[in-house]
Amino acid sequence: MDLRAARFLAPMLGCLLATQGCSGESLKGNKARVENDAAPAARVTKIGHIRSASIRESSGVIRCGYDTNLFWTHNDGRRSTLFAIRPNGDLAAQYTVVGAFFSDWEDIARDAKGNLYLGDIGNNDAQRSKLFVHRVVEPKLDQPSSLVKVTASWELDFPGKPFDCESLFIWGDNGYVVSKVFDDKKAELCRFSLNPTGVKKLEKLGKLAIDAPVTGADISDDGELLGLVSKQGRSEEHTSELQSPCN
């Protein structure tokens, strides 16, 4: 399996477990210790293979909100192209995102209101002092324009020292990111409010059980499970300790 297929399949399996764009109340984080025992990893089944030369490194994948036979993905890095793909990996359409500059586009998420969230959150060697998330309306395959305009943006300040990040998901009225850390350190979960837009400081919720570099994350529809993709494979963690109000 080549790199494009691997990057496509792992996050997609996270989507099948836990489709982003959940409705209901926000996941509430406890600022105290929030480590949980990781649940056993589910079986990974290959369902597709990206063959389009335009998708050189599929980084984030999310199921389409209006068509269960469609997924959205994008390349890792600076390119501002959004791709629509079928479950088998075939390319269905592509769009150019306008109104935002990407330094390191790493992930994509969706809410329950027909919006996509584009995570310019990569931070190799922790060189960036801010992260950015941009919102666009989920495009239709039959729309006449190939342009997708940014409708809102969030500029995210770190809660402490900058960290690398490749994971973004939406739950209720909040966005969440997971730190990508190394040397057997525990990954940390942080959130920011979607209302209002603008400059926000990430709120550190606590450490997760996983101690491998996290490259993708998603949450189940009921908010009970956090699905994670890491260098060690795929795992789930229960969020029960993350559901009490913050102090």
Q: What is the pLDDT of residue 28?
A: 45
Please state the rounded mean pLDDT for residues 165-189.
94
Report whether 173 contacts 26 (CB < 8 A): yes
Per-residue pLDDT at 17 exceeds 90: no
Q: Residue 221 has what pLDDT?
A: 80
CA distances from 105 to 132, 166, 183 (A): 9, 8, 24
How crowded is the C-beta side of 88, counted as CA atoms within 13 Å? 2
Q: What is the mean pLDDT of residues 95-111?
A: 97
Task: For residue 5, give the 3-state DSSP assignment.
Answer: helix
More confident residue, 32 or 202: 202
Q: Taking 90 as the threshold, does the pLDDT of residue 60 lie above it?
A: yes
Q: Alpha carbon 100 to chain centroid distance?
A: 18
CA distances from 237 to 35, 184, 196 (A): 9, 17, 29
Looking at residue 40, what is its pLDDT? 52
Tokens representing 116? 């996509």
